Structure 1
Amino acid sequence: MDDVSALPAAARRDAPPDRPSGTAFADALPLESPLPMPVQSLAAWDPALAHRPSRHHARPHAARLLVFGGAILLTGYGGWQMYETVSVSGSPTALQYVLVALFLLTFSWIALAFTSAILGFAVLLRRPRLPPVPAGLATRTAILMPVYNEGTARTFAAIEAMREAVDATGLGPAFDWFVLSDSTQADAWIAEERAFLALRDALGPDARLYYRHRRKNHHRKAGNIGDFVTRWGGAYDHMLVLDADSLMTGDSVVRLAGAMEADPDAGIVQTLPLIINRNTLFARVTQFAARIYGPVIATGLGHWSGRDGNYWGHNAIIRTKAFAAACGLPDLPGKPPFGGHVLSHDFVEAALIRRAGWAVYMLPTLPGSYEESPPSLIDVAVRDRRWAQGNLQHARIIGAAGLKPASRQHFATGIAGYAASPFWLCQLVVGIALVLQTAYVKPEYFTTEFGLYPVFPRFDPVRALQLFGLTMGILLAPKFLGLLLALIDGPVRRACGGAGRLVASCLIEILLSALIAPIAMVIQSGSVFSILAGRDTGWNPQRRDDGSIPFADIVRRHRWHTALGLVSGVAAFAIATSLFLWMAPTILGLVLAIPISWASGQLALGLALKRRGLLMTPEERAPPPIAIRAGALAARNQARGLDEADALAALHADPGLAEAHTRMLPSAEPRPRGSVDVDHTLAQAKVVEAETLDEARTWLGPKERMALLHDRALLDRLARLAP
């Protein structure tokens, strides 16, 4: 057997990559232009370090007074009505006070969304102006697509389509394109390299397309972007950050770059991505809701936030030097889920760059910014678990020194969004306890105050019904405002199938959302309780394609939800018919959790509604040209079979690919003396002992394959194995 130690030094794992100029691989990455990105302190901040705006920018005081003042007044009114409802029999009991407190917490959340939607509705009625298309650009922008074990057929199709669209504007030379890989699966990594090499060769010498794979995905997406900034950020004025499912028109990209260039005080400019290309039942409901209701809510948020806005991590342009100077994220003390690296980094980056004096704002009406959504309820729950941990982790950051009040509000809103579910659940539990107390607990005859009759904890049924109507009205108002805007907008109304189908679609969305809400409430509550118990979440790649989940998995994930619904329903009916009727919407959603979750991922159900013109969006009726182009390119890429190919077999069969892979390898990290890389040691032993490629493929585990792909000596040994 061969001994890898006898191989030439140039082939060993620690040999530096050889990138002679003029080879086919010399431009896999541009020359580095480092930009320091110091780690920021959350405990201290010197305002003297902040950027000084070049001109005065008015703050939206009136908008904030309307939104927050209105929300406070509504919450106060709702709380008073709730107090009157439970105090009809005299002074409320301790449990009734708890019920009032829980009601205030949940009601304040929907009241703020309501007043923000009112503001957004008023702004959209005026049809805000868009930033102009620039005639030229004096700055350079890097367009970044971070990927993590994604399918290359779709991601590289999106890159190719967007690049074509930007070049069609005549401003293409102002943009460079980077695919920044954090993939941890060997097949995904090699598929990315093959797709990159194919696309770059097709684009020719002026490709301006680069690819980098990190050896370790330290700090995940934030670390991926940070690695770009510290290595190449100095060469670019701006960076436009995408997600793996992002798609933006050329017009949208150049308008963003023009807006950033025209505003020297802007640090981040965020778009509102619309959801497209979704066909399962759940995804179509989400797509429709985002298109019809989303602009109302986002416009209100963007208007009252002003230049103290937020960042959602993608489809946004960022001033590179400002980001580098202000957004180096520290690790939080302690262990996950509340310690360690910052999980939901985008909110924190927005707060830090705003603290440093740069503006963060949104262009919610800028067209041409798109994304996709998870295809089923279970897929959303998996993603939501990670988001829940990231948002709750912000409780450790909300008090950081120097933050703007609006930034703290963004953190508070994110935290409240996940705390609302446990509060709602607790509110239901307390309500049940109060009914039990009325039904089974003996009245207190001898209270501190003399009375002729015993004291029962009773409710005012008329006032309770009025309060329920008020709550439902405030909860549904943003939906109706979005519907009204769509109805008065002729092109949107016709694209959604006409007024009748548009109204019917809204009713379908409301019904399905009402059934899903209690399931989501229990799932989110479980996530929050799990996080509070100290359980960390992983970072699994999202399932982006349409498709159902095996029914056995659905039953396993939702069986306890169904059991909870059945037990609650039987108990409520046994206690009181009125309690059962009060809880009926929640009970129904939980009892039907399994069929609802199954239906959510069904492509046939979504397409059946589509054929009837229901849950239609304008982008679905007349797909954006860039989406059509990206779809055609994805189909072409899919036919090449790169995502299904075995990495080791592909390298073994194509010496040119193996050479390209070797040249693109990141530099090896020095190994501390006395330490042993178990995965690399096992990979080396197995590859040395293997006599054929099939043996190596059979013996090597996933981590060992990654270790092999990082080692030039082992790759050389692999190439010499018999097929």
Structure 2
Amino acid sequence: MIPDPPQHQGPACTVQLDETMTVPPAIDAARVAEASPDDGGGMPREAPLAMPVQDLSHWDMGQGHRPARPGRDPWPARILVFGGALALTAFGGWQMVETVSVSGNPTALQLVLVVLFCLTFSWIALAFTSAVLGFGMLLRRPRPMSAPTALTTRTAVLMPVYNEATARTFAGVEAMREAVEATGLGDHFDWYVLSDSTQPDAWIAEERAFLELRGRLGHDARLYYRHRAKNHHRKAGNIGDFVTRWGGHYEHMLVLDADSLMSGSAIVALASAMEADPDAGIIQTLPLIINRNTLFARLQQFAARIYGPVIAAGLSAWSGRDGNYWGHNAIIRTRAFAESCGLPDLPGKPPFGGHILSHDFVEAALIRRSGWAVYMLHRLPGSYEESPPSLIDVAVRDRRWAQGNLQHARVIGAAGLHPATRQHFATGIAGYLASPLWLMQLVVGILLVLQTATERPDYFGGAGFSPVFPRFDPVRALQLFGLTMAVLLAPKVLGLILALLDAPVRRACGGAGRLILSSLVEILLSALVAPVAMVIQSGSVIGILLGRDTGWNPQRRDDGSIPLRDIVRRHRWHTVLGLVAGIAAFAIATSLFLWMSPTILGLVLAIPISWASGQLTLGLALKRRMLLATPEEASPPEIALRAAALATRNAARGYDDTDSLVAIHADPALAHAHGRMLPKGQRRPRGAIDADQTLAAAKICEAETVAEAQLWLSQKERMALLHDRALVDRLVRLETSQA
């Protein structure tokens, strides 16, 4: 019998593993091995949990968790929110019918306008009634929560990363770990960086940062790192891989994003809340946006801080224990997650088939289906995140979110879901359908005005022999416009009122005058951005409906502008659309031009608006004048200050600026530790040739210097090389430069 060929076999060159490498004290390989005897340098011994794939078409009501203390559904809040939104929509729809029926029976096109108005108005009506409920909740000042003094369970804090800035990621992990240790309860938390990075430089930077940090903290740091060779199912697969392999060690897991920061007291409070509530499956926090300085990011930061609490409080009130999950800054009961949240692949191809993109909503739905509570501690302080720096960056992220939410149309009818869960899905879907519906309503309005301006009167369509013109009641139309604006802006006004009533918040935002002026600036700039965002989102939805998959690009988080040529390329058609719409509207009727002027202006100025959105200078100019200011700017959270200091230190060490091949070649100790962290026992099937690995082997064996390896190896080939211990050893043996 012919034996299997060795796993790594290429051109004749030295690819034997070097077992004599020495490791300097900075990495401390002995401690790494002691802490992780099974998986080399990165992870503890495995403690698997079964995570069965869930059946969306069938659910047995007898299975799942039986609550020890069944909670009551918040029916009064739900009646107020949904009943109020329905009544408000009915009133608005009736007013619209009266507006278009001034000449008699409405035309078919006018009826289409009424339907579109009701659909779009119901969306803002629901936000209005939810905000009113949240406003009432926040007017009641609760007693401050006492800090936990003891814990009995263990929690894994998970930081999934995907081609992120390593200096900042590990600064956040280190800062949060220090903060939790300072509470005296640090022994109850282990820290994991779970990498799905597909860029070799990012991968090696993460390993360098991890090894350096754990070398300083020692073998009892309870800090671990794992890199997946294939980012199967993306973040959901990343978390699922942890749960199925190491989840048995922990009662809870606290899931973060790469830009997440949480204070030590907030992390401990979440663990304590889980211990106190045996029926809780997921407890979500309300993250505040911090550290933002570009114009657009400061708009988001101000809006989230001043208006966000009102919306979140309303959502929390009517959701009760049937809430939602936003994928980060939340604590999860590990075994409940494993038993309930194995996500199936949806039938068909993307964008509606394949793996579930917006996994967090579905995970909340499935864990709630299994009888576990999902709710939000919206008043818990100390939970933070960041946001994209420009309009284009938001559009890139929003395209992925749009696909994920529209994909939920395949999940909303799943068996056994709670009605509130279905409402969360419906709200998410409607949020992305709203933009094309608004655009359709605008187009129908233009057609109606054009019809009014060009059609001859119908002398026989009405009662008797009076001429009938397809026209509107101008007084009712103005009243309806006022009602729509009031409903649309009310959540912002309610948030502003609460901020004005809160003396510390008011002073931190520069006083009442600056706070009011900041709100006006936010409303004005948001109104200019809204038409561009509407068209972009409409294009995304149409593209998804036509079958275009968005993929998954890493999110740009740093402040900074986008080259003007890219901005012009992205927005040139928006400008053309605005010019054409403006000229056409003015030619049809001056009143139509005036009615459309906000939309026209936003589209015509799309390029300068998008350019300005990413500008640090504009954002910082407003910051100096204390406009769009937030309390977290006036008094930055300690966790944010510490993370920023550590990020500066890490950046000076060049984690994100060093070529991966150069880093491995220059430090045999790093190469040795890297090899120990690679998964063991994986062999390719006979005859299944990995082209990237084969080419990497050929090129690294022919290369004489690391410079040649850098020049010859593609990104995929570099990843293949870094997954191969023998090829890494060959890389280390290369000359630095030719003699």
Name structure 2 gaps, 5 residues minimum. Answer: 1-8, 20-28
Q: Which amino acid aligns with 2:267?
A: V
Q: Which residue of 2 aligns with 1:415?
A: 429
569 and 677 in structure 1: CA distance in 2 versus 1, 3 angstrom threshold: same
How far off its partner does 1:683 sit? 1.0
2:385 is matched with which residue: 354, 366, 371? 371
Q: Which residue of 1 aligns with 2:252?
A: 238
Structure 1 residue runs of 4+, over 6 Å off? Answer: 22-25
Q: Which residue of 2 aligns with 1:213?
A: 227
CA distance in structure 1 between the partners assigned to 2:556 and 2:141 by the alignment: 36
How far off its partner does 1:249 sit? 0.2
Q: Which residue of 2 aligns with 1:594?
A: 607
1:70 is matched with which residue: 77, 80, 84? 84
1:54 is matched with which residue: 68, 81, 89? 68
Name structure 1 gaps, 5 residues minimum. Answer: 12-16
Q: Secondary structure at the match of 1:417?
A: helix
Q: Which residue of 2 aligns with 1:652?
A: 665
2:346 is matched with which residue: 332, 335, 360? 332
Q: Which residue of 1 aligns with 2:735?
A: 722
Q: Which residue of 2 aligns with 1:31?
A: 45
CA distance in structure 2 between the partners assigned to 1:129 and 1:442 by the alignment: 68
Q: Which residue of 1 aligns with 2:629?
A: 616
Q: Secondary structure at the match of 1:48?
A: coil
CA contact (8 A) 1:270 1:361 kept: yes
300 and 699 in structure 1: CA distance in 2 versus 1, 3 angstrom threshold: same
Larger mean Cα displacement after TM superposition, 674-683 or 400-409: 674-683
Q: Which residue of 2 aligns with 1:497?
A: 510
CA contact (8 A) 2:11 2:698 kept: no
Q: Which residue of 1 aligns with 2:398?
A: 384
CA contact (8 A) 2:460 2:468 kept: no
Q: Give yes or no for the alignment of 1:162 onto 2:176.
A: yes
585 and 664 in structure 1: CA distance in 2 versus 1, 3 angstrom threshold: same
Q: Which residue of 2 aligns with 1:635?
A: 648
Q: Secondary structure at the match of 1:69?
A: helix
* Superimposed CA distance per residue, residues 413-434 of structure 1 (whole angstroms, 9 cap, x where no aligned partner): 0000000000000000000001
Q: Which amino acid aligns with 2:206?
A: E
CA contact (8 A) 2:17 2:725 kept: no
Q: Which residue of 2 aligns with 1:135?
A: 149
172 and 439 in structure 1: CA distance in 2 versus 1, 3 angstrom threshold: same
Q: Secondary structure at the match of 1:178?
A: strand
Q: Give yes or no for the alignment of 1:226 onto 2:225.
A: no
Q: Which residue of 1 aligns with 2:537?
A: 524
How far off its partner does 1:127 sit? 2.1
How far off its partner does 1:59 sit? 1.5
2:112 is matched with which residue: 98, 119, 127? 98
CA contact (8 A) 1:131 1:259 kept: no
How far off its partner does 1:710 sit? 0.3
How far off its partner does 1:9 sit? 8.0
Larger mean Cα displacement after TM superposition, 185-194 or 42-51: 42-51
2:94 is matched with which residue: 80, 87, 90? 80
Larger mean Cα displacement after TM superposition, 662-671 or 586-595: 662-671
CA contact (8 A) 1:128 1:365 kept: no
CA distance in structure 1 between the partners assigned to 2:10 and 2:260 by the alignment: 47
CA contact (8 A) 1:302 1:309 kept: yes
Q: Which residue of 2 aligns with 1:702?
A: 715
Q: Which amino acid aligns with 2:222?
A: R
Q: Secondary structure at the match of 1:47?
A: coil
CA distance in structure 2 between the partners assigned to 1:20 and 1:453 by the alignment: 93
Q: Which residue of 1 aligns with 2:285?
A: 271
Q: Which residue of 2 aligns with 1:247?
A: 261
Q: Give yes or no for the alignment of 1:577 onto 2:590.
A: yes
Give the 5 Å matches for 1:227-626.
227-447=241-461, 451-626=464-639
Q: What percentage of aligned pairs have identical amino acids? A: 76
Give the count of matched residue pairs. Answer: 717
CA contact (8 A) 2:289 2:305 kept: yes
Q: Secondary structure at the match of 2:282?
A: strand
CA contact (8 A) 1:246 1:315 kept: yes
CA distance in structure 2 between the partners assigned to 1:2 and 1:381 by the alignment: 45
2:209 is matched with which residue: 174, 192, 195? 195
* Superimposed CA distance per residue, residues 634-664 of structure 1 (whole angstroms, 9 cap, x where no aligned partner): 0000011110100001100100000000000
* Superimposed CA distance per residue, residues 333-379 of structure 1 (whole angstroms, 9 cap, x where no aligned partner): 00000000000000000000000000000011100000000000000
Q: Which amino acid aligns with 2:466?
A: Y
How far off its partner does 1:440 sit? 1.4
CA contact (8 A) 2:35 2:219 kept: no
Q: Which amino acid aligns with 1:408?
A: R
CA contact (8 A) 2:319 2:375 kept: yes
CA distance in structure 2 between the partners assigned to 1:2 and 1:146 by the alignment: 34
RMSD, aligned α-carbons: 1.7
Q: Which residue of 2 aligns with 1:177?
A: 191
CA distance in structure 2 between the partners assigned to 1:281 and 1:9 by the alignment: 53
Larger mean Cα displacement after TM superposition, 1-10 or 68-77: 1-10
Q: Secondary structure at the match of 1:142?
A: strand
CA distance in structure 2 between the partners assigned to 1:627 and 1:304 by the alignment: 32
CA contact (8 A) 2:18 2:729 kept: no
CA distance in structure 2 between the partners assigned to 1:604 and 1:98 by the alignment: 46
CA contact (8 A) 1:213 1:666 kept: no
Q: Which amino acid aligns with 2:202?
A: A
CA distance in structure 1 between the partners assigned to 2:35 and 2:413 by the alignment: 53
CA contact (8 A) 2:41 2:673 kept: no
CA contact (8 A) 1:130 1:365 kept: no
525 and 326 in structure 1: CA distance in 2 versus 1, 3 angstrom threshold: same
CA contact (8 A) 1:217 1:224 kept: yes
Q: Which amino acid aligns with 1:344?
A: S
How far off its partner does 1:6 sit? 7.2
How far off its partner does 1:442 sit? 3.1
22 and 533 in structure 1: CA distance in 2 versus 1, 3 angstrom threshold: closer
* Superimposed CA distance per residue, residues 288-313 of structure 1 (whole angstroms, 9 cap, x where no aligned partner): 00000000000100110000000000
CA distance in structure 2 between the partners assigned to 1:148 and 1:190 by the alignment: 13
How far off its partner does 1:28 sit? 2.1
Q: Secondary structure at the match of 1:56?
A: coil
Tell me the TM-score normalised to structure 2 length: 0.95
CA contact (8 A) 1:133 1:258 kept: no
669 and 85 in structure 1: CA distance in 2 versus 1, 3 angstrom threshold: farther
CA contact (8 A) 2:36 2:43 kept: no
Q: Secondary structure at the match of 2:62?
A: helix
How far off its partner does 1:672 sit? 3.1
* Superimposed CA distance per residue, residues 166-222 of structure 1 (whole angstroms, 9 cap, x where no aligned partner): 000000000000000000000000000000001111112221100000010000000
CA contact (8 A) 2:402 2:541 kept: yes
Q: Which amino acid aligns with 2:728?
A: L
